[in-house]
Structure 1
Amino acid sequence: MTARVRSPLAGRVGLVAAAFVVLGEAGWLLAGLPRAALVSDLGAVAVASWAALACTGVARRHPAPLRRFWVLLAVTMTLAALGRTVWTVERLGGDALPHTPLVGGLFTAGIVTGTAALLCSLAAPRSVVGQARTVLDGVIVALALIPIGWVVVFRDIAAADLADPLRTFGLLYPMFDLMQLTILVAVSGPTRPMWRALTLIGASLAIRAAADAVYVSLVAHDSYAAGHPIDVCWPLSYLLIGAATGHPPPADCDGEEETIEPPLPPWWRVALPYLPVGGAIVAVVLARRPTGQTPHLIFVAMMVLLGVLALRQGLAANENLRLVARLRRLAYSDQLTGLPNRLTFTRRLRRALRDGRPVAVLLLDLDGFKQVNDRFGHAAGDRLLTTIAERMHDTVGGDGMIARLGGDEFAVLVGPPVPPERLAERLLAALEPLPGEEDLGVHPSASIGIAEYGPQHTSHTDLLRDADIAMYAAKAAGKSAYRVCTPRLRESAVSRAELIADLRRAVDEGQLLIEFQPIVDLATGTVKSAEALVRWRHPRLGVLPPARFLPLAEETGLILAIDRWVLGQACRAAATWRQRAPEVTVAVNIAAAHLRRPDLVATVTEALEAAGLPPDALTLELTESALIDGSETVLERLAQLRELGVRIAIDDFGTGYSSLSYLHRIPATELKIDRSFVARLDAEDSRAYATVEMVNRLAGAFDLMVVAEGVETGAQHAAVAAIGCVQGQGWRYGRPTALPDLLATLTPIDVAR
C-alpha cells in the first residue's frame, strides 16, 4: 500500500532526473566537449533503462489489456538499453560504428515488441484480421518510402560506395520507425477519446524516425561520428515514452468491449497506406541509374510492396464480405431476439402468396408488456422478450416461420397441414408462466389474431390487416386468447375505422353537444350542481352516447381536444345559470390523459377565466383508474387545482382500484358511489346496502361529501337518503337535458314523489 502511495512521486522524480540527463547530454554534445561519444552512449542507456522501469511500474497498476501494452513497451525499452550497451562495448573495443548482427538483432527485436505494444493498446483492433490489416498498412507506408528515401539520401552517392550493406540497408531503420508511426495513427483513430500517452509515444516515434533518417544520411555521406548532436534524439525519444506512463487512459477506456457502433473512420485514415505509393512510383523512375538499371534494394522493395498491397486488398475483400454478411443479418434479422424481422416476414409472405400456397398468419401481441418496462426497466423487458421469443420459436419449430415485427409484436407464417388454431393454442400454452414465475409479475400473456388467405384478400397487406383485426378482438375478449378473423369482425373493424375518421372532424365541424344532468340535495331537493355530459350528433348515425365514442377518443388521443371543448362550454353554461342560481356548480369529467399533461392547470384556468366562472364553481370528476397512477407530478397538479379552489371528485368509486392509500394522497373533496351499487338497493340487497353504507362512513372519515349515482327509483332514493348520502344524481331527479331545459329545473325538486 505504501509503495502505491509513493509511486506517483517516485515517477515524477525519475522523470525529472531523466530530463536532466537528456538536457545535460544535449549541452555536452552541442558544446563539443571531450568524450562526447561515451556521454552520448551512457545517456541513452540510462534514459532507456529508466523508461523500462517506468513502464514496468505502471503495468502493475492497470488491468490485463493495458498491462500487456506497458509490459511490451518495458521490453522494448529494455532491448533498446541492451542494444545501446552492446553498441558502446563494441565501439570502445575499436569498431567506430559497430553495426554487428547482435546489435541489429536487439534493435529489430525492439521494433517487433514495440509494434506488438501498439497492437495491444485499447483503441487497436481486437480481431486478428483487423490487426493484420493495421500492420500491413504500416508495412505499405514503410516500403513505399524506401524509393523516396533512396532518392533523397543516396541519389548523389556513387554506385561503388553502395557496395557496403550498411549504406544500402541502413535506409530500413527510418522506414521501420515510419511503419510504427503509421500503426499508431491507425490505432488512435476516432473510435475513442485521444489518450495523451499515445500522443507522447507518437512524438517519440516521430523524433526517432527523423533521427534515424538523418543518421543514415550522415553515414551514407561519411560525415557521421559518434557523439554527433543528432545522438541526443534517441534518449529524448526514450524520455517521451517514460513520460507517457504518467498519463492514465480516458475514463471510458476501461478495456471493456464497445457497446455502440464506432464512428466511420475519416477519409484520410482509409487512404493513409496508399498515399505514399504514388510518390514511390515517381521515386523509382528518378532512382534509375544512367545505365537504365534500378538499384537492387529499390527493385526488391517494390516487388515486396506489390505483394503486400495484394495481401492488403485480399484482407479488405474478406472484410467487405464479412461486412456484407453482417449487413444482411442487420437487414433481415431482429437484433434482440435473433428472429427474422418484419422485412423478412413480409418477403416470405409475399412469395407464398405469389406461389399460390394456402397460408395463414398468426399475429401475436403481448398483454401487459408495457407495465413490465415501466416497472422493471427496459433491460428487464428486453430479457423477457428474448425468453419469450425462444419459447415461441421452439413451439413453432418446423411448422412455420416466426418473426418479430417490432416492440412486443410477433407474427407466424404457417401453411398446411398445420391448423393455425392448434398452433395458437400451443403458443398460448408455451407462454404460461413456469413454476416459480407466477410471483415475479413479469410474464405477460399474448393475444393472437389469425387470418387465413382467401379470395377476399388482394395482397399481403389485406391478410396482415385481418390478422390485426382478429388480434384486437382477442384482446377485447379478455386477453390470453386467440380469435380468427371473420367477415363480421372485418365489417366491425371497418365501421370502427370510419367512426374514428368521423370523430376527427366532429369537434371542428361542431357536431358535439352537451347535456346537463342535475345533482340534487337529497334532503331538500335543491339542485346543487349539474354534470356536463357530451353527446355526438353524428350526421349519419344520429345522436351517439359517450360510451359509443369516448373509448375511441381515448385510444386515438382525440379525448384531449374533446375534453378542452367540453370544459370551455360547461364553464360558460355554468356562468349563465349562476345568474339565476348563484350556488349551483358544474361538474366536468377529465380523462386520464389530461392528468399526465403539464398544461392541465393552465387549461382549467383559461376555461374559468374565459367564462368568468369562479374556481369553486367547478368540480373535476376523475375516475379511479385515471387516479391509480398517483405519481408525484399528478398529485402536485391536483394540489394546485385545489389551491385555486377547484373541487375534485372521485367518480365511479368502488369499481376501480379503491385504496385507502390513494384516498390519503389525492386532494379530493367528494366521492361518487357507482350506479352498480345503487341499482342493487332496489332488491333490498343487504350486501349492496352495507357497501354503500361503508363507503359513506369512509367518506365521512376523510371529510368527503358523497354523491349517489344512478338513483332511478323511489326505493333507491329512500335507501341512499337513509344511509346518509348528501347528494344524489340519476333519472329520479332528472335526465340529461340541454341548457335551456336545465334552467327551468333550477328550483327545488320534490324528492318525495
Structure 2
Amino acid sequence: MSLAVAAPARHPLAGRVGLVAAAVVVLGEMVWLVVGLPGAALVSDLGAMAVSSWAAVLCVRAARRHPLALRRFWGLLAITMLLAALGRTVWTVERLGGIDLPHTPLVGALFAAGIVTGTAALLCSRAGGRSLVGQARTLLDGVIVALALIPVGWVVVFRDLADADLSDPLRTFGLLYPMFDLMQLTILVAVAGPGRQMWRALTVIGAGLAIRAGADAVYVSLVAHGNYAAGHPVDVCWPLSYLLVGLATRYPPPGAGDADDDAGESPLPPWWRVALPYLPVGGAIVAVMLSRQPTGQTPHLVFVGMMALLGVLALRQGLAANENLRLVARLRRLAYSDQLTGLPNRLTFIRRLRRALREGGPVAVVLLDLDGFKQVNDRFGHAAGDRLLTTIAERMRDAIGPDGMIARLGGDEFAVLVAGDRPVAPERLAVRLLAALEPLPGEEELGVHPSASIGIAEYGPQHSSHTDLLRDADIAMYAAKAAGKSAWRTCTPELRESAVSRAELIADLRRAVDEGQLLMEFQPIVDLATGTVRSAEALVRWRHPRLGVLPPARFLPLAEETGLILAIDRWVIHEACRSAATWRERAPEVTVAVNIAAAHLCRPDLIATVTGAMGAAGLPPRALTLELTESALIEGSEAVLDRLAQLRDLGIRIAIDDFGTGYSSLSYLHRIPATELKIDRSFVSRLDAGDARAYATVEMVNRLAGAFDLAVVAEGVETGEQHAAVTAIGCRQGQGWRYGRPAALSELLPTLAPADVAR
C-alpha cells in the first residue's frame, strides 16, 4: 500500500458545488457579522444550520464510500453534525421565542449528545485503537485534560467576577464546552499522526476542533462577563468548524492511498504525546491554589473538578499498571518461547539445562538437526518451510511427551533435555523422534518431509559446564550426518577426540596460507602417441609443522566447509601461473591446469583473480586450463556459465574434471563452454581387468567428446595395460603414475623433453 500523500478524492460536480456553496455561506456570514449588518443573529443561526446539515450529508456519503471498518466513524460523525444542526435549530426557535437563556434542557441534551457521538467517532476510528482497554485509556487521557481545565478556567475567567452566577446547572454545563472541546482534541491528537490511518482527514477535523475550542472559550468568557449577544463575530467559528468536517470527507478511503496500520507496526508515539494528558495537571494544581477565596475555601466547582481529576488519574494509572503487567507477561513469552512453533526457545533450554546440572542427577541432551530442510525452503518458499517446522514440532512434542523437554534452538535445530529420574533412555527418545519424522502416507510423494540427524550426549566427569555437554551433542549429531543422515549417534571419547583434532586442524589451516605452509606439486599430462608432456596439473600440498606433508584429501574438504578454500585457490592460481611462466622458457607449448573449487565459481571476482595472476606472471591465457568438477558446473547458475564463457573468450581452456561421476547430462555439454573432458580414474582403473563395461564407457566418452569437439584426458593411468587400452580407444592424452607422480617444479623441469612412454 502506497505511503505517498493522498490527494482529495474526485467528487461529482454536485459535490464540488456544495463545497463552494458552503464556503460562500461561511464567508458571507463572516462579513455580515464583522460589519454588523442587521439580522446578524438570524444570519448566524441559519449559516450554522446550513453548513452543519451539509456536513452531515457528506459524512453519510463518506460512510458509504469507505470500508466497513470506517463506516461507524463517519456514521457517528454524521449524527454529530445532525445533532449540531438540530441543536442550533432549537436554539434559534427558543431565542426567537424570547427565551433569554438558550441553554434549555433540550438544547443541552442535543449538544451533550453531539459531544458523546463525536467522542465515540474518534474512539472507534481504526486509528483510535482496536481494544476496549486502549479506547478507555485514550478517553481517560482526554477527560484528564478536560478536568484540568476547570480550575484553570476558573482563575482565567471567573476569579474577578465575584457575582458570577453558576447556580444554574444548565448554565454551568454551557460554560464547560471548552473543557469538552479540549477532551476531544486530546483524543484526536492521541489517535492521529503521520503514518496512522486517516491521519490527513483527522488532521482537518482536528483543525475544526481547535477552532471550535477557541470559539467556545471566547463564548464562555463573554457570557461570564455579560458581553455576549447572538450574532457576535465569534459565531462564525462554529460553521467554519463544520465546513472543515465536510472538507475532511473528501479524502479517499485508506485503500486508495492512506497508510494502513495493518501493513506493519505502528510507529512509536513521541514523548510529548505520551505526556500530553499529564502536562495540564501541574497547571491545574497551581490554579487551585490561586482560586482560593479570601475565606480560604476553594470554590465548589473547582473542588468537584479536582476530586474528579484525582479519580480519573487514579483510574488511568490503574489501566497503565494493568497494561504494564500484560506487557511484561507478553515479553516473557516472547523471551522464553519460540514464536513459530510455540516450543521453548534456546534461552529457556539453556536455563533449564543449567538448573538440572545444579540439582544433580543424570542429565542428557538429545540434539536434532533436520536433513535437507534448506531444499524445502529453496523449492517451496519460506512460508511452506515454516508450516513444515510447525508440523514437525507438534509431532516431536507428542513423541517426547512427559519424558523430556523439547525446545527449538533456532532454524531447523531442536534439542531435548532429559533430566532427573528418567523413565526412558535418551537413545529410545532418539528412536521415537526418528519414527515421528517419518513421512505419513502421501507426504513422501510431495518431497517436503526431511529426515533428521540426532546426537546424544550424557553429562559426565569430562564436562565442566553445560557448554561442554552441548558441544558433545553437536559432535555426535555431525557424526550421525556423516553416517548417512536419518540416524542417531552417542558421543564417545573417540568422536570427541576426532572432533578436537578436526577443530585443531581447521585452526592450523587458517594460518597455513599466511605462514607459507602450502607447497605446489605438478603431475604431467602427456601425449599418448609420443609421450611428450603437453601439460601439468597443479596439485596443492600442506606442509604441516607437526603432521608433515598432508595430501589434498586431508584438508581441502575442511577448507571448503570453512570457506578457506577461496584463499587457497587464489594462492594456487598465482603459484601455478608463476611456475608455468618459468617452465615455458624451456618448453613454450606446455600448459598448466589448475583445479577451481565450486565456491570460487560463484565469486564475481573469479575473472579478476585469474587474469590478475596471469598478468603478474606474464602467462598467456592459452597456457592456462581451469579444471572444474562436473557436479559444480551443473549446479552452477546462469551467472556462473556466463563467467566461464568470458574466461573461454579470453583464450583460457575449461576442463570438466572427473567426468562421468556427476549427474551427466548432454544438455549441459551444450551449455558449458568446456574445451576438454577428463575421464575419471574409476573407469580407467578397471581397464586392466578386462572390464567390458569400463572399456565401453571410456570409448563412449571419447566418442562423445569428439562429437562436441572436446579434447580427452584419461586420468589415473598407472599400468601398461591401462595405457594400451586408453591409447587403443583413441584418447589423445593421459595422466597418472604411469607417466609421472606429482613432483616439485624442480623435478618436473627435466621431464619436459620428449620421452618414449608408449612401449
Q: With the length of structure 2 as denominator, give the TM-score of the two structures.
A: 0.96
Secondary structure of the residue aligned to 1:273 is coil
Provide the rounded CA distance (Å) in 2 between the counterparts of 1:200 and 1:715.
Answer: 95
| Structure 1 residue aligned with 2:499 | 493
Which residue in 1 is equivalent to 2:635?
629
Deviation at 1:636, TM superposition (A): 1.9
CA contact (8 A) 1:122 1:255 kept: no
Q: Give the AA of the match of 1:731.
A: W
- Rate the CA distance shift 1:86–1:168 in 2: closer, same or farther, 3 A: closer
Which one is further off, 695-704 or 39-48? 695-704
What runs of 5+ residues in structure 1 fail to find an aligned partner? none
Counterparts of 1:251-650 in structure 2, within 5 Å, are: 258=262, 260-415=264-419, 416-650=422-656
Deviations 1:181-219 (A, max 9, x none): 101111124663772111101101100111111111111
Question: Residues 57-100 of structure 1, C-alpha deviation per residue, up to 9 Å, x if partnerless?
Answer: 12222212222222221121111112112222222222244211
CA deviations on 1:388-432 (whole Å, 9 max, x unpaired) are 212211211111111111111111111312111111111112112
- How many residue pairs get aligned? The number is 750
Contact 2:22 2:54 in 1 (8 A): yes
CA distance in structure 1 between the aligned counterparts of 2:367 and 2:523, rounded to whole angstroms: 44
CA distance 1:192–1:691, shift in 2 (3 Å): farther
CA distance in 2, matches of 1:112, 1:687: 93
Aligned to 2:230: 226
**Counterpart Cα distance in 2 of 1:120 and 1:372:** 44
Alpha carbons of 1:216 and 1:7: their partners in 2 closer, same or farther (altered >3 Å)? same
Please say which of residues 163-172 and 480-489 is displaced more in the overlay: 163-172
Query: 1:645-656 maps to which residues of 2 (within 5 A)?
Result: 645-656=651-662
In structure 2, C-alpha distance between the alignment counterparts of 1:63 and 1:720, rounded to whole Å: 79
Distance 1:467 1:253 in 2: 54
Preserved CA contact (<8 Å) 1:336 1:386 = yes
Deviates more, 1:680-689 or 1:125-134: 680-689
Deviation of 1:583 (Å): 1.1
| Counterpart position of 2:132 | 128
* 1:259 Cα deviation from its structure 2 partner: 6.1
Q: Return closer, same or farther for 1:8/1:364 CA change in 2, 3 Å cut-off.
A: farther
Secondary structure in 1 matching 2:445:
coil
CA distance in 2, matches of 1:467, 1:254: 53
Q: Is contact 1:65-1:120 (8 Å) kept?
A: no
Q: Following the alignment from structure 1 to structure 2, what is the Cα–Cα distance between the partners of residues 35 and 675?
A: 112
- Of the structure 1 ranges 164-173 and 619-628, higher mean CA displacement relative to structure 2 is found in 164-173
> Residues 287 and 6 from structure 1, CA distance in 2 versus in 1: closer, same or farther, beyond 3 angstroms?
closer
The whole-number CA distance in structure 1 between the counterparts of 2:198 and 2:246 is: 18
8 Å Cα contact 1:622/1:649 also seen in 2:
yes
Deviation for aligned residue 1:149 = 0.9
Determine the C-alpha separation between the residues in 2 that align with 1:150 and 1:11: 44
| Structure 1 position 725 matched with structure 2 position 731 | yes
Q: 1:604 to 1:6 in 2, by over 3 A?
A: closer
| 679-688 vs 590-599, greater mean Cα deviation | 679-688
In 1: Cα distance, 2:76 partner to 2:704 partner: 77
**SS of residue in 2 equivalent to 1:34:** coil
Please give the alpha-carbon distance, in whole angstroms, between the structure 2 residues aligned to 1:245 and 1:127: 25
| Cα distance, 1:577–1:194 mapped onto 2, change above 3 Å | farther
Pair 1:670-2:687 in alignment: no
Shift of 1:307: 0.6
1: CA distance between counterparts of 2:662 and 2:388? Answer: 28
Are positions 1:197 and 2:205 aligned together?
Answer: no
Contact 2:108–2:170 under 8 Å retained in 1: no
**What amino acid is the match of 1:555?**
E
Alpha-carbon distance in structure 1 between the residues aligned to 2:100 and 2:705: 107
Where 1:530 maps in the other structure, the secondary structure is strand
Greater shift after overlay, 31-40 or 184-193?
Answer: 184-193
Greater mean alpha carbon deviation, residues 457-466 or residues 70-79: 70-79
CA distance in 2, matches of 1:257, 1:338: 26
Report the residue type matching 1:91 in the other structure. R
Say yes or no: does 1:72 pair with 2:76. yes
Match of 2:239 among 217, 232, 235: 235
User: 1:722 and 1:60, CA in 2 relative to 1: closer, same or farther beyond 3 A?
Assistant: farther
Structure 1 residues 657 and 748, CA gap change in structure 2 (3 angstroms): same
Per-residue displacement from partner, 1:139-169 (whole Å, max 9, x unpaired)? 0000001110111111111245333434433
- Looking at structure 1, the residues matched to 148 and 705 of structure 2 have their Cα atoms a distance apart, in angstroms, of 90
Match of 1:246 in 2: 250
* C-alpha separation in 1, matches of 2:697 and 2:107: 100
**What is aligned with 1:690?**
696
Return 217-226 or 545-554, whichever deviates more: 217-226
Alignment TM-score, normalising by the size of structure 1: 0.96
Q: Distance in 2 between matches of 1:37 and 1:725?
A: 113
How far apart in 2 are the matches of 1:323 and 1:538? Answer: 58
Is 2:176 aligned against 1:168? no
Which residue of structure 1 aligns with residue 212 of structure 2?
A: 208
Which region of structure 1 is more displaced relative to structure 2, 459-468 or 60-69?
A: 60-69
Q: Distance in 2 between matches of 1:745 and 1:226?
A: 118
Q: Secondary structure at the match of 1:364?
A: strand
Q: What's the CA shift for 1:693?
A: 2.2
Structure 2: runs of 5+ lacking an equivalent:
1-8
CA contact (8 A) 2:197 2:261 kept: no
Picking from 728, 744, 748, the partner of 2:750 is: 744
Structure 1 pair 10–652 and aligned structure 2 pair: CA distance change class (3 A): farther
Q: What secondary structure sits across from 1:163 in the alignment?
A: coil
Q: Distance in 1 between matches of 2:636 and 2:60?
A: 59
Measured after TM superposition, the shift of residue 29 of structure 1 is 1.0
**Equivalent position of 2:6 in the other structure:** none
Tell me if structure 2 keeps the 8 A contact 1:682–1:716: yes
Amino acid at match of 1:532: A
After superposition, the CA RMSD in angstroms is: 1.9
Cα pair 1:65 1:255 within 8 Å, conserved: no
Is the Cα contact below 8 Å between 1:572 and 1:611 reproduced in 2?
yes
1:690 shift after superposition: 2.2
Superposed CA deviations along residues 362-410 of structure 1, whole A, max 9, x for unmatched, are 1111112222222333222222222221221121111111111111111
Q: Give 2:635's aligned amino acid.
A: D
Q: Deviations over 1:441-472 (max 9, x none)?
A: 32221111100111211111111000000011
**After the TM superposition, which of the residue ranges 520-529 and 552-561 deviates more from structure 2?**
520-529
94-103 vs 487-496, greater mean Cα deviation: 94-103
Q: Percent identity?
A: 85
Whole-angstrom distance in 1 between the partners of 2:620 and 2:438: 55
Alpha-carbon deviation of 1:554? 0.7
Map of 1:54 onto structure 2: 58
2:73 matched to 1:95? Answer: no
